[in-house]
Structure 1
Amino acid sequence: AASAGSGQTCLGPAAAIQDAKHKYERALAAMRERDQTTFIFVLHPEAISIKETRRATGELGKLGIANFRLIVNGIIPPEGAQNPLFAARGQMQARYLGQIEAGLPYAQQRMTLLPGEIKGIDRLRQVGRLFFDGQPATFAPLPTGEKPAAREATSLEAVRAVLEPDGRRRTVFFAGKGGVGKTVASCISAVWLARRGYKTLLLTTDPAAHLGDVLGVPVGDDPAAVPGVENLWAAKIDPKAAAETYKRRILEDARKRGRPETAIQVMAEELDSPCTEEMAAFDKFIEYAAQEGWQAVVFDTAPTGHTLRLLQLPVDWSKQLDVKIFASVDSNAADDVAKQRFGKVIEMMRDPGQSTFAFVMYPEATPILEAWRFARDLGTVGIHPGMVVANMVIPPEQADTPFTQSRRLMQEKYLAEIAVRFQAPLAQIPLLPGEIRGIEMLDTLGELVYGVEKVQA
């Protein structure tokens, strides 16, 4: 009976999950063995990347796993440092390489930034020989004689049209491959909107919660004003904490309805799944976004796969949750309210007059492909790209050495591909000498990316 719990979770029957726990324990034991498993962390010599690596190694350490190696990627080579922009980035990297040596005491290998991308069998073999055999490798710059097809630049007006509210609340979702700069793009956008006079809420469900690092101020669990930026509030949604609150609410409701304790235990098991965590985070987002008064809500999403599951769950509500949560508490009224609530939000996401899905990527093959796949998946539920943000674009005037010319040429090719693939307004965040941190820098970048516009009265 429904009152006894369905015995189902989004991963399958609860009993099957118990069997899986035994497999998990065996796998965990193997992962602790140094002669069987090695965890390799790839990071850039930058503050947020180091912080995330520390967080991840710390989490694994709680499970008794300590067999780590590092690959420090993207190090500016001597030929790259002949350009002042890349020379400044090289100096920044040198400081962080020292921090990595001191704070992450694991075996490490270093990979320099190449004139072009690592793509194709020949280049992979060269990198493999460099990594595993210690053989020196020479990566010649790409030929600069062949220019990509000319493309028409997106006007600032077209970009602003999908970012600014137009009489109704505007919700902007930033999506893309992990590590491409979604947090930076969302912070730039939120600060710019607030400076234009729009009351703006900036949210994240990213477990790493890098908003505070980029803003330069602490960001808590509840919306709070960001010092130094009138009209801007920010909050981080902790998926685990949201899930605990969500489960507690469901189980308390069941107890109030007189369900027996055996049924409560079954329901608790059903709710103990990753789907509950993601649904709870989405539920919390709706709670904040539905608050009166916001003119713009900027959502710094988690990496692509996580976000897609987060968004698909409400769309498949009747298939996945009727038998999981609300059928268990035998509450048709609660079911109807939840369906209506989530359905209304999905309709808002599908309306380009109210929502913009902005895909962030480097102008390189892999981030573009992953963002494109994600965009196609969203298209199956009626959500389409509203804007594309290309991050770390080399300014044309900096393409003054063979190394920077080669990398700029590569980026131009992919900027043209982005325009063709996504058919959406394209904004560009330039590569800077250092990291993007603090309100002053976000203000400057907002004007570079979106332009200076008349402030709302």
Structure 2
Amino acid sequence: MKFLERPPRFLFFTGKGGVGKTSIACATAIALAEAGRRVLLVSTDPASNVAQVFGTIIGNRMTDIPGAPGLSALEIDPQAAAQAYRDRIVGPVRGLLPDAVVKGIEEQLSGACTTEIAAFDEFTALLVDSALTATYDHIVFDTAPTGHTIRLLQLPGAWSGFLDSGKGDASCLGPLAGLDKQRAQYGRAVEALADAARTRLVLVARAQRSTLTEVARTHKELAAIGIAQQYLIINGLLPEEEAKQDRLAAAIYEREQAALRALPAELAALPCDRVALRPFNLVGLDALRQLLVATPSPANASEDEPIALDASSLGDLVDAIAADGHGLVMLMGKGGVGKTTLAAAVAVELARRGLPVHLTTSDPAAHLAETLHGSLEHLTVSRIDPHAETERYRREILAAKGAELDAAGRALLEEDLRSPCTEEIAVFQAFSRIIREAGESFVVMDTAPTGHTLLLLDATGAYHREVARQLDAKGAHYTTPMMQLQNPKQTKVLLATLAETTPVLEAAGLQADLRRAGIEPWAWIINNSVAAARPQSPLLRQRARNEIREIAAVAATHARRFAIVPLLKEEPVGVSRLLELAGRTIATA
């Protein structure tokens, strides 16, 4: 593997959700450790699944991985990091300042941007030379999906610039002293990221046009901030011999080869490795050890045994949604499970019935336009653009609060609004506007991958608590966005997953997080099911059999209602193919 030749100290794995970043990062960490290196594997994903892959509890501490001498792992826990951050800031003034003042500071530090910057502090601490990491030869970062990762890697420079130019004594994070102490650490982190001798970025992709286009954008954005040492891995390629035995496999193989022939020029210039699709789930040390080495395809055993499925279709779910006449439909889940495609499919099926539908996305790496590839009567499409929303928010605040300020006061306000986490507030406001629309029509929202969505819901919850604190004492009536999300008559949350061990576990974890916030998911959707596509290829049939156990777990343990969407021969791009996803029957393969 080219990306493993003369590896530097820091290796970052990034890419669109669902392309196999975690599996490849874990397999890389094992390979380095078995070569005699001391390795720390770090997940920066707020919805980390490293623990599920290794089958052990990890959490926010350096933990040795059983059965893999020399390998430790760490999952940066945003909530634990945020609490530690709050304690660092509030602890010194507790007991010295009035309780009301301390409570006000804590309230300032309760939002999503505090959670983000606190986790970011832990991330940058791993990039600087310290006793914390001195014993490790390599630190392997399994990052969150693309949009979140780009923001994470841009933050060292953004916060350094903000602190260098800032003149205020507070931001949305509370006292700036909490950030200013980290100035030197951020500077050293910037140097480490830009040093090709110390840092290598590995872009992980699937052989899909949309995925490769997004990876090309990521390559450009990260190269622009100085991360130039980049490699490419094309993961999960169907072997050519499988295409000779099955029309479905042949269509998938040709689709992948066409995407590779159209590889963007900037990616074609990068050192590239190709990793074959495996018939087994990538969970456990034995499976991970096989990922980066060549293995034979499965034999033709058990080819004639039927694969039985009994489940609703996506169309059945849409029938029940349409009966309400209006409402918010939110697609949530891990990156790469097909939320964008499913959101578009639900929206076009509702619009086909003559219902007014607004399809929107909060995903920083959104590609709704590419998925729809056309228009439809009764359907409008939008995107919550973080940059546009931040600029709108800045203008509104300057108009409302800056009009009566003198030049010095206005300059101070403008400086405060240049804080990188102003974006979190702006995106939340846009999210709130979208929710209000669902009172009169259908709004279908394609959310960002799990971790980013949880941060958005954290902001929604913080806003609700602040409104409740101010208005409950007055006995005033109010409705917050969080209350609308908690009302099943107004909001239906659809959890998207794949019939694989890790995505199902992650969807179950997301469901638990939502329930703690008082939001009950309405249904699960198992997307891209190989079993429901009736394959004949031995490799695909083995993957189909692996799916049955996961589908049974969803039915028995996790979901009150669920639907299965089959893997299609053609990519579901365009209105007509999206309507195919709402098929009425799930057949026996």
TM-score by length of 2: 0.64
Contact 1:144 1:409 in 2 (8 A): no
SS at 1:65 equivalent: coil
In 2, Cα distance between equivalents of 1:260 and 1:241: 27
Greater shift, 291-300 or 49-58, is seen at 291-300
Once the two structures are TM-superposed, the CA of residue 21 in structure 1 deviates from its matched residue by: 4.3
2:498 to 352, 358, 362: 362
1:410 to 546, 549, 559: 546
In 2, Cα distance between equivalents of 1:181 and 1:17: 37
SS at 1:297 equivalent: strand
- The 1:320–1:141 alpha-carbon spacing in structure 2 relative to 1, beyond 3 Å, is farther
Structure 2 runs not aligned, ≥5 long:
1-100, 105-166
In 1, Cα distance between equivalents of 2:178 and 2:467: 18
Amino acid in the other structure paired with 1:405: R
1:62 to 209, 221, 224: 224
- The 1:309–1:274 alpha-carbon spacing in structure 2 relative to 1, beyond 3 Å, is farther
Aligned equivalent of 1:423: 559
2:322 to 164, 169, 174: 164
Q: How many residues are treated as equivalent by the alignment? A: 416
Query: Can you list the C-alpha shifts for 1:125-164, whole angstroms capped at 9, x where unaligned?
Result: 2224x2xxxxx3336479869x999875247786236522
Aligned equivalent of 1:174: 331
In 2, Cα distance between equivalents of 1:407 and 1:388: 20
Q: Does 1:33 align with 2:169?
A: no
- The 1:241–1:400 alpha-carbon spacing in structure 2 relative to 1, beyond 3 Å, is same
Aligned equivalent of 2:175: 13
In 2, Cα distance between equivalents of 1:251 and 1:340: 29
Contact 2:193 2:227 in 1 (8 A): yes
1:317 to 458, 463, 475: 463
1:186 to 319, 343, 363: 343
Of all paired residues, the percent bearing the same amino acid is 32
1:253 to 393, 400, 416: 400
Greater shift, 195-204 or 26-35, is seen at 26-35
TM-score by length of 1: 0.81
SS at 1:163 equivalent: helix
Amino acid in the other structure paired with 2:451: G
Query: Can you list the C-alpha shifts for 1:248-307, whole angstroms capped at 9, x where unaligned?
Result: 212321123x34555545544544445432331231233244348842100111111111
- Structure with higher RCO (Cα < 8 A, 6+ apart): 1
SS at 2:273 equivalent: strand
Aligned equivalent of 1:286: 432
1:142-157 equivalences under 5 Å are: 153-154=311-312
Amino acid in the other structure paired with 1:124: L
Aligned equivalent of 1:223: none
Q: Does 1:196 align with 2:342?
A: no
Amino acid in the other structure paired with 1:279: I
Aligned equivalent of 1:89: 252
Contact 2:202 2:233 in 1 (8 A): yes
Q: Does 1:378 align with 2:541?
A: no
- The 1:143–1:164 alpha-carbon spacing in structure 2 relative to 1, beyond 3 Å, is farther
Aligned equivalent of 2:271: 107
1:208 to 340, 365, 381: 365
Contact 1:392 1:430 in 2 (8 A): yes
- The 1:24–1:75 alpha-carbon spacing in structure 2 relative to 1, beyond 3 Å, is same
- The 1:62–1:42 alpha-carbon spacing in structure 2 relative to 1, beyond 3 Å, is same
- The 1:124–1:397 alpha-carbon spacing in structure 2 relative to 1, beyond 3 Å, is closer
Aligned CA RMSD, in angstroms, stands at 3.3
Contact 1:394 1:408 in 2 (8 A): yes
Once the two structures are TM-superposed, the CA of residue 428 in structure 1 deviates from its matched residue by: 2.0
SS at 2:199 equivalent: coil
SS at 2:322 equivalent: coil
Contact 2:497 2:507 in 1 (8 A): yes
SS at 1:308 equivalent: helix
Aligned equivalent of 1:50: 212
In 2, Cα distance between equivalents of 1:282 and 1:86: 43
Greater shift, 151-160 or 410-419, is seen at 151-160
In 1, Cα distance between equivalents of 2:309 and 2:168: 56
In 2, Cα distance between equivalents of 1:66 and 1:6: 34
In 2, Cα distance between equivalents of 1:51 and 1:20: 36
- The 1:274–1:301 alpha-carbon spacing in structure 2 relative to 1, beyond 3 Å, is farther
SS at 2:526 equivalent: strand
In 2, Cα distance between equivalents of 1:84 and 1:283: 48
SS at 2:263 equivalent: helix
In 2, Cα distance between equivalents of 1:261 and 1:384: 49
Query: Can you list the C-alpha shifts for 1:307-366, whole angstroms capped at 9, x where unaligned?
Result: 11111212112768999xxxxxxxx99xx9xx987x432211111111111111111112
Contact 1:141 1:406 in 2 (8 A): no
- The 1:397–1:40 alpha-carbon spacing in structure 2 relative to 1, beyond 3 Å, is closer
Q: Does 1:230 align with 2:230?
A: no
Aligned equivalent of 1:393: 529
Amino acid in the other structure paired with 1:412: I
Contact 2:313 2:565 in 1 (8 A): no
Contact 2:535 2:541 in 1 (8 A): yes
Amino acid in the other structure paired with 1:392: N
Q: Does 1:344 align with 2:480?
A: yes
Structure 1 runs not aligned, ≥5 long:
131-135, 218-226, 324-331, 451-457
